[in-house]
Amino acid sequence: MSERLFSKESLVGNRMSRRRFLGFVAVACAGGALAACTPQTAPTAAPSEPEVKEAPPTVKPESSAGKATIEMWMWETEERWQRLQDASGLTEEFPDVDFKWTALPYGDLHQKALTSMAAGLAEGMPSIVRTGAGYYRPFANSGGIMDVTEYVAPYEKDVLDYYWAESIIDGRIYQFPDDTGVMMFGYRWDIFEQAGLPSEPDEVLDLLATYDDLIEVGQTIKDATGALMFNMTPSAGTFTNIGLQDTTGFFDAEGDVIFDSDKHVHVAEVVKMLFNSGLVTRYDQGPQIVQAYKDDQLVFDFYPNWEDFTILDNFPETAGKWRVTRLPATMPGGKRGTVQNGCLLVIPAAKPAEERDLAARVATYMKFTEKASVAHMKEFSGAFVSYVPGLEAMHDYPSPVLDGQSVYTEFLKTAQEEEILPWYRSSTVFFNEAYSAAGEAMFKILDQGAAIGESLKEAADTVRAMQDEKGIK
């Protein structure tokens, strides 16, 4: 799918609802790397790293009523966060705090936050900033966010393992883990039955053990019904999705570029096999993809946990006809699930110490209590928190799309049993460059028949050169 179909910044800038935003982005990037909370892009150069001059801890943030005020910046609407405040028990837990929810366009929020953090400024900054995973490392490199290890560390056993690993920078933690995402494989059970194939999730799990099996099943379905597998364009999307099954993405934990590794070369070979199978559509326009799903012409979907609402917003006619199973393995014994994008909360380090502590206690309650995390998931359609007790509490929460399956049961089970790997975007400030370079390499491989190993190495070397030139990772 074309990554240029919709301007993600403009969609979020207009304060489009989370659900509507996910729908547009997912249709634009179906079969690509989807965004659970944020646009795919992130800042590509590290800010300067000045010494942060903290304000003295003598002044409380005061409201007109004499209460302390905790303000949070985010990109959703203030009204939704006010409802979340009421449902989460925040007011009862912090009766002496006034909460202020300030919605900003996504790009403006991060431009303002990065500029102020790099300068060590407290004035004009909120107590908490909600951000996407791609901004975590740039915020940390700015020196402008608080080390919250002491607040977060007690909850290590309650956070999904892969998200915990993504949170650590040089042995410390500077974020409160928020939404995350897990990818499974969606399929139309009714089309399976029309093709004479078994349709129960456990049966399909065995039927689609590998991507070679997927090709065989896809051919059977095409011969019997005319339906194809899914949509693909020559881009980084499917390469990223499948690559995350057995790697940590484009970088390792130290920020070294790895997307030209032997495993990534193998993934590119799998992607090329799918692309050239004659079993995929190659639409580069969202409406064509939507119509294909409406017309029962596509049977599979790379299915992140929020995909229920993408389907409801774009092809609701298919609700109830979907089930999920785990992804085909890229190699024998390979993992059959992946991580997807996530969100986090950070606290500006230049704020007075008393305000920082209060903000950290508020964030701890929001992210590490069952009541607050359940309220978050019920308010924001498709949200999937990283706090395991909250996910477990949603065990029986019904899916509006899946037939007889709960998203919170199936996706949590996959994340834990597959021991899915972290996606090390936080190890680098060059994620966007890497995604772009990988996309260009995959275009050459799929559209022009370029050699896989050479194309990926050339692309990876361009990112390494940027790291060397800037002297950072």
Q: What is the pLDDT of residues 200-247, one digit of tens each?
A: 999 999 999 999 999 999 999 999 999 999 999 999 999 999 999 999
Confirm if 166 and 174 have CB atoms less than 8 A apart: no
DSSP state of 145: B
3-state helix, strand, coil in the chain (%, to 5): 45, 15, 40
DSSP state of 423: -
Q: Which residues in the chain come in under a pLDDT of 70?
A: 1-65
Q: What pLDDT score was predicted for residue 426?
A: 87
Confirm if 284 and 233 have CB atoms less than 8 A apart: yes
Q: What pLDDT score was predicted for residue 52?
A: 36
Domain boundaries, the chain: 181-340+423-470
Question: How many residues make up the chain in this entry?
Answer: 473
C-alpha 297/C-alpha 226 separation (Å) is 7
211: enclosing H helix or E strand? helix 211-225
Q: What pLDDT score was predicted for residue 238?
A: 96
Q: How many CB atoms lie within 10 A of CB 7?
A: 12
**What CA–CA distances, in Å, run from 159 to 38, 153, 180, 371, 415?**
21, 10, 11, 16, 12
Q: How many CB atoms lie within 10 A of CB 62?
A: 11
DSSP letter string, 51-70:
PP-PPPTT---B-TTSSEEE
**Tokens (6 digits) for 294:** 């409406």
**Tokens (6 digits) for 341:** 């994008």
C-alpha 140/C-alpha 172 separation (Å) is 10
**Tokens (6 digits) for 150:** 């002491």
**Tokens (6 digits) for 422:** 């972290």
Question: Angle at CA 266, nearest 5°, toward 322 and 228?
Answer: 30
Nearest Cα neighbor of 473 from 5, 19, 2, 44 is: 44
Q: What pLDDT score was predicted for residue 63?
A: 52
CATH of domain 181-340+423-470: 3.40.190.10
**What CA–CA distances, in Å, run from 259 to 34, 396, 422, 464?**
19, 38, 15, 11
300: enclosing H helix or E strand? strand 300-304
**Angle in degrees, 0-180, between the axes of helices 18-28 and 286-294, rounded to the nearest 10:** 90
Cα dihedral 190, 191, 197, 201, rounded to 10, equals -50
C-alpha 351/C-alpha 302 separation (Å) is 42
**Tokens (6 digits) for 31:** 């079969």
Confirm if 371 and 74 have CB atoms less than 8 A apart: no
Positive/negative CA dihedral, 120, 126, 127, 131: negative
Q: What pLDDT score was predicted for residue 49?
A: 35
pLDDT digits (tens, 9 = 90+) for 400-410: 999 999 999 99
Q: How many CB atoms lie within 10 A of CB 254?
A: 10
**Tokens (6 digits) for 145:** 């966010």
Q: What pLDDT score was predicted for residue 101?
A: 98
Nearest Cα neighbor of 103 from 81, 88, 83, 124 is: 81
